[in-house]
Every structure is written in structure tokens, then in C-alpha cells.
A and B are shown apart, each in its own frame.
Chain A
Amino acid sequence: MKEFLEGSRAIAEIVKRCRPGVISAYPITPQTHIVEDLAQFVADGALKCEFVNVESEHSAASVVLGGVAAGVRSYTATSSQGLFYMMEVLFNIAGMRLPLVLTCANRAISAPINIWNDQQDSISLRDSGWVQMYAEDIQEASDFHMLAYKLTEDASIMLPVMVCMDGFILTHGIETVDMPRQEEVDKFLPPYRPLYKLDTADPVSMGILADPDYYMETRFAIQETMKKVLEKIPVLTQDFSKAFGRAYNGLVEGYRIDDAEKVIVALGSVCGTIKEVVDELRSKGKKVGLLKITTFRPFPAQKVQEALKDIPKVAVLDRALSLGSYAPVAAEVKAAFFGKKKGPKVISSFIAGLGGRDITKDSIREVFSLLTAKEVSCEFIDLKPELLKEKYE
């Protein structure tokens, strides 16, 4: 049913329909509305679930780790500092091959403290073993949670999934969202049947010590499974489209790129703005397009190559940095073409929208206009020169 919903509300509604038995979270803007709504569902008896109010994100992640280890579908959500505070638990969850879904309401990282959107938080956890999906709009964010549970609980996968949605822009924005009925979700996502769990009838030891004779194979196994994720997601999105009528590629999506001369590569909500600018410029005869990366981990390098191999000029727009080196998404896109015969002549890298600075249509137009034969790296868009004047010798 189509409903006019705040993004956070949509996530709470879809998580409720996924029927987690354990939810644990700790408040941090802009994630708060999601868990407040879920707490209300539990208080109203609309969701049968143990809602555990913990004293920190470290414990929130640990509670859901324990919940799913005991065989119950579990859920948590966080942002920014909260995600970082969870970090060692998140690596642990992936290493233990526990199927979990976490919503990351993307927010900048301190210092300076800043509650607004960029993607430095989740991007910094790209090596954690979590699958990462980035939503362009609220509908995607909502749908990706169903896909995420389906993927993480697949016996051939068993890796946790982080659904990333831009803070405020998507969590507090309001859109028309098609909310599936409970029966439809139940059909798509049957109850969780654990491969292994803490069970007194069949005792297992989980999270045990692996010395140099055994550790490396566990990491290799995750690396191999990540390849399977790239195969699995398109299969699941097909099932999804049969069930709900909405089609996603799930890995990358090209927008008007077939004959394009210039393409911007981006993640998340900014793709909506880019599409508008692409349409405008196309109506003026400019051959431009967008490549949206939906799944950033595992990185769909082959799909990126296929999509961009004939594009002369590519701009990668990052909303995060790897301070002191190439921008995170740009580095991946460039690496995808290393040693390849065919590929863009130029792959320029741009940084925009850090700490919630709006990425306007003008910002996108500027990226297209700076995308010339001269390759640039980490070119900041919308910097304020007047703030950069002070000098300390």
C-alpha cells in the first residue's frame, strides 16, 4: 500500500514486518526516529520482540550478536560515532558468520562534531566483512531491508548486511513509499532457520581461538563468500521484483549512460539530484549520465567495468575521504580499470557534501564542467575560500 512516510518510519515499518525477535539500540541522531518507532510498536503490542535498551552501541551490537547466536532474527541501527563504537563488535559478527541487519543512518564523524550527513561512517567500515548497500531514496532503503535479511540468512552467505541511508536526507525526508503487506513479506522472508545456534540439546562452541594454523582460512572463506554475494544479489532482486513488482539491479545501476561521454559515479541519495541534472543537460544535447553504485561491499568491479568501459570521462563523487590518499569510491573505480585495455581516458575524483553541506544541482553541474581531459584527484566542490584564509606559521 502506498503511504506518505518519513524515512525512519518506513524503516521501522519494514523492520517490523521482517519480525525480528531481538532489537537493541542506543540513541544517536539521525538514527533515533527508527528505534523510537520500533520501541512504540513493541509497547503497543504490534511487534512481538524483546527490545533491549542498552547503555552503549558496543552493547547494542553485542546484544544482537547474542540474540542471533541463540537463533533469533535480530536488528540494530546506528550512525556515526555509534557505528565506530560498535566497530570491534561488527568485525566480530562478520568473523563469526552471524546473519544480522544493521541500518546505518549516515552521518559525519567527529571532530568537529557534526550531526549532518556524509558517508564517512559506513565507508570507514568497508573492511569489516559486512555487506554494504546504499539507498538512493526511502523506497529503496525500505526494500533493501527485506533483501538484506534474505541475503544474510542465506546458508551460502551468512555475512551481515549494513543498509546505509543518508542521515536526515532519507531518515527525516518524507516520500510516498509502497509498504508491502505482512503476508507478502512473510512469503518473501520466511522465519529464520539457523544453521547453527546456542542450543543445550546440541552444544557447540562459538567464537573460539584460531591460531596461525587455522585463522587465515576463515578470512579466505569470507573473501570467497563476498564473491558469492555478487552473484546472489541479482538473483534475490529478481525474486524481489516478482514478489513486489519493483525491479532493482542491486549492484550498480546506469542512468542514461549508453551513449554518454561524461558519467558521474556516486552512492546514495545524491543520485537523485544527479539524475535531475542529467535530464536537464540531456535536454540541452549534452551526453551525460550516472552510474549508481548500490552495493559497495562487496565491490562490483566487473559490473563497474562493463558499465563504464566505453565512457571517455568519468567523475567519481565521494562523500567521504581516506585522508592522505585517494577518495574511497574513486580508488575502487580506478582499481577496477587497472591493467584493462578498454576504459575511460579520465577518471577524476571529486569530494562534496561533507558534514551535511548541501550537494545542489549547481554542485553537480560544476562536477560535470570540471570533468575535462585533465584528470583531477580529490577536487573539493563547494569549498568556501573565505574560511581557508587563516594561516599558522
Chain B
Amino acid sequence: MSKTLFVPGHTACAGCGQSMGARLVIDAAGPNTIVVNNTGCLEVFSTKYPESAWQVPWIHSLFENAAAVASGVESALKFLGTKDSTNVIVQAGDGGTADIGLQAISGMLERNHDILFVCYDNEAYMNTGIQRSGLTPFDTNTTTSPIGAQSTGNVRPKKPMPEIAAAHGVPYVATASVGFTQDVQRKVKKALSIKGAKYLQIHVPCPLGWRHESSMTIQVAKAAVEAGLYPLVEYEYGKLTAVRQIQPKPVEEYLKLQGRFKHLMKSPEEIKKVQAIADSNIEKYGLKTQA
């Protein structure tokens, strides 16, 4: 028996945050788990025939339908009477979740299937070459929101996917970050202890797409949380129940680590706008540690 259910030898890039996240999730979930994966980097780098990194039953169908495939798997397990002893986990990228997969995930949440949906949020369509998604942050330089004479990058802030999930009134919704590994695993375990539909969105830096050193993944992830740009929150039945508090640092501390925000360093005006997003998060979720 290997120590992990997501074994090495796959073809992820060095420093891939998503591969770290996937390993944390499946090892917290344990062997009695069936994984349903959307199309995306994770599927591609972990299951190139004739190899597979997965030591649990794993299925991939299409880009946008994993929540529905998982609904079918869960229904079949219910029919067989084995659901209570088996976890069903969906894994998808931010694009497969918040954009093209949104309809299927909304259906899954509304029907309250006993499934944990995990979104690995690397903030763009990485598998197809760093195009923007609905979870790409404001002012990010991507291949389809490039900077130029008329552009400072992605024009809109991140779609509030955790709130959208929570609005379905499901028992558990949370955000996490690979910068805080124990917190990821705690949330996975907590989610799996609850019956019904759960949504967990994990911030996973992508060295290639974000253009940072591959050794910096954890540091970059931590910096996003510490700047107030990636609030770590928990909702139960649609109500905010917990937040990870921070001593907010200026957003530049986070932005300057990454090539995708390099253009902002010359533009205090734009940095102010990003700071305003962080400030609004800090205010909205009460992120600031009380002295």
C-alpha cells in the first residue's frame, strides 16, 4: 500500500498547486471514495493511458458534466445500498465549475445529492493555455484578457461562486487554500461528515499561468489569503459560520510575486482598485483579527 491515494509519477508541472490540493483532498477522504473529474489539467496530468495516479475508483466524462455524472453515481450507490459507506467527490477546475459546469453543479446542489464538489481554483483555463474564466481576478493578464494600450487585463472581479453555492441552502460550503494544508484537510473531513451536497473551493496557484517560481506555490497561496483577496470562509445552510482571520497585508505583497500582475506594478491607480476589492472582502467577512 502506498501512503497516498494519489501516487507520484503523474505529469503535472513542478509546483502545481492543483496536484497538491488533489492529494490533500483524496488523502483526507480515504479509500472509500469514488472520484468524478471534469476535463482539465488534473484529469490530463493524472490519467494518461496506460497510467493512472488514482488509487480510488475514478471517472472522467466531459468538461461540464461531472456534477451530473456524480449525481448518477450517487443515485446508483443509493440504489445498491452502499452510499452511506462511500464518499462521492467531484473535482473540477474553476472553468469547469463556475462557467460551463455551473448549470450541472446548480442542479446537483439543488437536488442535494450526498456529494462533495471540490473546485480547484487556479483562476483561469489552464489546460487550454491560460485563458480567462469567471474566476479570474480583476486586472489579471491572461491570453484572452491580455494587457494592451486599451487594457489592464481581466475587466471583472471573480464570480462569487461560494456565495452562489451557499445560496442553494446546502449544508456546507467552504473556501480553502493549498497555503493552509491542514485547513484543507479539516474542511474535507468536515464536509464528508455531513450528508447532502457540499461545495469546497480551493485556491491553487499555477506557476505556469500565474508566472511565479515553482518553489513559491505555498507562499503565493498564503499571500492571497493574507491580503484579503482569498477569504477563507465556511457557510452552513446558507449562513456564514466561520472565517479565517488575518492581519491584512497590502495587496502589492501578493501581486508582486506573479508575472500575471506585473503590469500593475507601474500603475498605482490599478493597484488601488485591487486593494479596494481586498478591503471590501475584509469588511464583508470580518477578516481582520480583533486586537
Q: Do A and B come from one complex?
A: yes
Which residues of A does B touch, CB under 8 Å?
A: 21-22, 24, 48-50, 52-56, 58-60, 62-72, 74, 88-89, 92, 96, 198-200, 203-211, 214
**How many residues on the B side are at the interface (Cβ–Cβ under 8 A)?**
44
Minimum CB distance partner of A210 in chain B: B49
**Chain B 40-62 per-residue mask, 1 if CB under 8 angstroms from chain A, else 0:** 00011001111010111111111
Nearest neighbor of A63 in chain B, beta-carbon distance: B72
How far does the alpha carbon of A22 sit from the alpha carbon of B78 in the complex, in Å?
10
Question: For the complex, what is the distance from the CA of A207 to the CA of B57, rounded to whole Å?
Answer: 11
B277 within 8 A of A: no
When A50-B75, A52-B71, A205-B47 are in contact, do A200 and B58 touch as well, CB less than 8 Å? no
A89-B43 contact, Cβ under 8 Å, with A65-B72, A66-B73, A206-B60: no
For residue B129, CB closer than 8 A to chain A, the reply is: no
From known contacts A59-B104, A208-B49, infer whether A24 and B57 are also in contact, taking CB-CB under 8 Å.
no
- B253: Cβ under 8 A from any A Cβ: no
Beta-carbon contacts under 8 Å, B74-115 to A: 74-80, 86, 103-104, 106-107, 110-111
Please measure, in the bound complex, the distance between the C-alpha atom of A198 and the C-alpha atom of B54, giving whole angstroms. Answer: 12
Decide if B64 is an interface residue (CB 8 Å cutoff). Answer: yes
Which A residues are in CB contact (< 8 Å) with B110? 55
Q: Complex: how many Å from CA A58 to CA B78?
A: 22
Residue from B31, B33, B47, B57 with most neighbouring chain A CB atoms (10 Å): B57
Q: Is the CB of B56 within 8 A of A200?
A: yes
Contacting A62 at CB < 8 Å: which of B43, B62, B77, B78? B62
Q: With A58-B103, A203-B57 given, can you name 11 additional A-B contacts, CB distance below 8 Å? A: A21-B75, A21-B80, A50-B79, A55-B103, A58-B65, A58-B68, A59-B68, A65-B65, A72-B75, A88-B62, A205-B47
Chain A residue numbers with a CB within 8 Å of B103 are 55-56, 58-59
Bound CA span A54–B110, Å:
10
Within the complex, what minimum Cβ distance (angstroms) separates A99 from chain B? 13
Cβ-defined partner of A66 (8 Å) among B50, B55, B56, B68: B68
Bound together, the chains give a CA A74 to CA B71 distance in angstroms of 13
Contact B61 A62 (CB under 8 A): yes
Residues of A within 8 A of B52 (CB): 205, 208
Please give the distance in Å from A44's CB to the nearest CB on chain B. Answer: 17
Cβ-defined contact, B75 with A67, below 8 A? yes
B61 contacts which chain A residues (CB < 8 A)?
62, 65-66, 89, 92, 96, 207
A55 B107 Cβ-Cβ under 8 A: yes
Kindly list chain A residues whose C-beta atoms are within 8 Å of the C-beta of B50.
214
CB A70 to nearest CB in B, in angstroms, measures: 4
* Chain B residue with the shortest CB-CB distance to A88: B62
A202: nearest residue on chain B (CB-CB)?
B57
- Structural contact, B68 and A62, CB atoms closer than 8 A: yes
Contact of A70 among B68, B72, B111 (CB under 8 A): B72
Specify which of B49, B57, B106 is in contact with A204 (CB 8 Å cutoff).
Answer: B57
Identify B75's interface contact among A56, A63, A204, CB under 8 A. Answer: A63
> Is B247 in the interface zone, CB < 8 Å from A?
no
Q: Is the CB of B55 within 8 A of A203?
A: yes
- The answer, yes or no, to whether B69 is at the interface (CB within 8 Å) is yes
Complex: how many Å from CA A71 to CA B50?
23
Residue of A whose beta carbon sits closest to that of B60: A207
Question: Which chain B positions have C-beta within 8 A of A92?
Answer: 61-62
Report the bound CA distance from A209 to B32 in whole Å. Answer: 24
If the complex has contacts A55-B107, A89-B61, A208-B52, are A198 and B47 also in contact, measured as CB distance less than 8 A? no
A53 lies within 8 A of B111 (CB)? yes
Q: Are A49 and B49 in contact (CB under 8 A)?
A: no
Instruction: Assess the B31–A21 pair: CB atoms within 8 A.
Output: no
Residue B173, interface by CB 8 Å: no
B56 touches A203 (CB 8 A): yes
Do B72 and A67 have beta carbons less than 8 Å apart? yes
Q: Least Cβ distance of A391 to chain B in Å?
A: 43
User: 13 A–B contact pairs at CB < 8 A?
Assistant: A50-B79, A54-B111, A55-B104, A58-B65, A62-B65, A68-B72, A68-B76, A92-B62, A200-B33, A200-B56, A203-B56, A204-B57, A209-B44
A contact residues around B107 at 8 Å (CB): 54-56, 59
Interface residues of B in 107-152 (CB under 8 A from A): 107, 110-111
B65 touches A55 (CB 8 A): no
Distance (whole angstroms) from the CB of B63 to the closest CB of chain A = 9
CA distance A66 to B104 in the complex (A): 13
Top 6 closest A-B pairs, CB basis?
Answer: A66-B72, A62-B68, A70-B76, A59-B68, A63-B72, A55-B107
Chain B neighbourhood of A24, CB < 8 A: 71-72, 75
Chain A residues in 8 Å Cβ range of B72: 22, 24, 52, 62-70, 74
Contact of B197 with A by CB under 8 A = no
Bound together, the chains give a CA A96 to CA B65 distance in angstroms of 15
Q: Counting CB contacts under 8 A, is B282 at the interface?
A: no
Which residues on A sit within 8 Å (CB–CB) of B48? Answer: 208-209, 211
- Decide yes or no whether B70 CB sits under 8 A from chain A: yes
Q: Smallest distance from the beta carbon of A38 to chain B beta carbons, Å?
A: 14
Chain B residues in 8 Å Cβ range of A55: 103-104, 106-107, 110
Bound Cα distance A374, B104 (Å): 54
A88 / chain B contacts, CB cutoff of 8 Å = 62
Q: Which residues of B contact A54 (CB under 8 A)?
A: 68, 71, 107, 111
Residues in B neighbouring A205, C-beta threshold 8 A: 47, 52, 54, 57-59
